[in-house]
Amino acid sequence: MRWLSLILAAGLASGAAAQGAPPPRIVVEGTAGAIEQNYFDPERAAAIAADLRAEARAGRYDGLAPEALAVALTRRLSPLDRHFRVTYSPAAEVQAPAAGDAPEPAYGREEQDRRDGYGFREVALLPGNIGYLKLSRFAPIDFEQRDWPAWRAADAIFIDLRGNGGGDPSMVGYLVSAFVPADANIYNEFRFRQGRMSERPPVLSTAALSTPVYILVSGRTASGAEAFAYTMQAAGRATIVGEPTAGAANPGRDVPVAPGYAVFVSAATPVNPVTNGNWEGTGVRTDVAVPAVEALDHAHVLALESALSRIPAAERIDAEWALDAQRARTRQNEAPPLDQFAGRFGDATVFVQDGTLRYRQGRRPAIALIWLNGEVFVPPDDPRFRYTFRRDRAGQVDANEIETESGERSLRTRDQAR
């Protein structure tokens, strides 16, 4: 049985479809009842429900249109728990599921997960031998698939959660297990009204125990994605780069409260054994605070700087060149005038487009170049190549030399007609 089904096995509020929206006081009463019956902290749930009922009796929500009522209740409740959310859908036939069941999508969960790629949006090897994994959500994990062998070869791993709103804790725990010893006591324990559940997976994947990990986050990183970042940070296994996360720690599900209305109620709260707390309300703190859009570039520099100290001297050139290119991204305002490098160089053409120097050889697509230093330019996404412009005695650009990190060189002289 899926974990979210276990969280709320009984006691769900019900609602029946009806013509037109129900009166606000009926909606508030249903919301209060859903929280009172299902919120993980019974004492706090009773207090929240009592306050809502008192506000309804005082007429606070009278006269609000359906959508406005849902917004008002969400604003009222979300400061108490970041997962609280009231929704209204006029066409919805909102009915309570049977005990132990979770509402199913239009097609099966396995098909849904497969069509969504299990949340894996991008897997790449960045310049400098840095592994990159972008996750849009945490799908249920198949514990028979135990390993990502390629991770063992990377000098660092980036996990991009900047747009990840959460998901299933089975994948959260499994991914964490890839980076910590098998006996590590670092997994969150979820506490709900009746019982507890650990995020520790039944099958472990100790694939990358020493590889540095950088996790990219933003204000859109929430819930299960925060659980992964928080656990990895508490375990001392990751550097968190970006902006503070959403601060939504307590998992749960939507509960119907009246025709067309549902409220998301948190059914459990996580407690981390390292911190004895969680990230509710505050979000996961960042170790390197930068704008979220710049998180990948900053993490890339940090990872390459760290990797250089571990890579044998004879094998460092790719990491060194990748680091040079990353640092160069921030210095483009210092680049010399680009028009002086434009021209024909044998079968290649160098030109300026949209403020960027571009190199096209024959019919191949043009390559964008950024200024590195002096007369040297590099492709920002493939720093294995360097394009150096040579000058004649009069100081005019008369040749272009392409050098690869393996030491190969090719020289093209500039056509005289300019």
- Output the DSSP codes for 122-177: EEEEETTTEEEEEESSBPPP-TT----GGGGG-SEEEEE-TT---B-HHHHHHHHH
Tell me which of 126-135, 292-301, 305-314, 360-369 is least confident. Answer: 126-135
CA distance readout (Å), 20 to 29, 56, 91, 100, 258: 18, 20, 10, 30, 11
Q: What percent of the chain has pLDDT over 70?
A: 83
For residue 123, which amino acid is it? Answer: V
Give me 165's structure tokens.
């709103």
Q: What is the mean pLDDT of residues 311-333?
A: 89
More confident residue, 283 or 99: 283
* Among candidate residues 207, 203, 200, the one with its CA nearest the CA of residue 231: 200
Query: Distance (Å, rounded) from C-alpha 36 to C-alpha 50?
Result: 9
Q: What is the mean pLDDT of residues 211-222?
A: 94
Side-chain half-sphere CA neighbours of 347 within 13 A: 5
pLDDT at 36 over 60: yes
325-346: pLDDT as tens digits: 999 988 888 999 999 999 999 9
Give me 389's structure tokens.
């412009």
Q: Are strands 195-198 and 189-192 parallel, antiparallel or unpaired?
A: antiparallel
* Residue 362 pLDDT level (bands cut at 50, 70, 90): confident
Q: What is the mean pLDDT of residues 168-175?
A: 86
Tokens 């020493």 belong to residue: 210
Give me 289's structure tokens.
């605070």
223-274: pLDDT as tens digits: 999 999 999 999 999 999 999 999 999 999 999 999 999 999 999 999 999 9
* Residue 118 pLDDT level (bands cut at 50, 70, 90): low
Q: Please give the mean pLDDT across all residues of the chain.
A: 84
The pLDDT score that the predictor gives to residue 121 is 61
Query: Distance (Å, rounded) from C-alpha 400 to C-alpha 158?
Result: 35
Q: How many CB atoms lie within 10 A of CB 104?
A: 10
The pLDDT score that the predictor gives to residue 20 is 72
* Residue 18 pLDDT level (bands cut at 50, 70, 90): very low
Query: Do residues 98 and 87 touch, judged by C-beta distance below 8 A?
Result: no
Query: Distance (Å, rounded) from C-alpha 93 to C-alpha 259?
Result: 7
Q: What is the mean pLDDT of residues 269-286?
A: 95
The pLDDT score that the predictor gives to residue 5 is 37
* Residue 116 pLDDT level (bands cut at 50, 70, 90): low
The pLDDT score that the predictor gives to residue 153 is 56
pLDDT at 405 over 90: no
The pLDDT score that the predictor gives to residue 368 is 96
The pLDDT score that the predictor gives to residue 104 is 47
More confident residue, 137 or 145: 137
Domains in the chain, CATH or no CATH each: 3-88 (no CATH), 109-247+282-303 (3.90.226.10), 332-413 (2.40.128.50)
pLDDT at 3 over 60: no
The pLDDT score that the predictor gives to residue 407 is 87
More confident residue, 184 or 109: 184
pLDDT at 282 over 90: yes
The pLDDT score that the predictor gives to residue 155 is 83
pLDDT at 387 over 80: yes
Residues paired with 400 in a beta bridge: 389, 412
Q: What percent of the chain has pLDDT over 90?
A: 61
Query: Distance (Å, rounded) from C-alpha 382 to C-alpha 324?
Result: 12
- Record the pTM: 0.77
62-110: pLDDT as tens digits: 999 999 999 999 999 999 999 999 999 886 544 444 444 444 444 455 5
Query: Do residues 138 and 228 touch, judged by C-beta distance below 8 A?
Result: yes
More confident residue, 178 or 151: 178
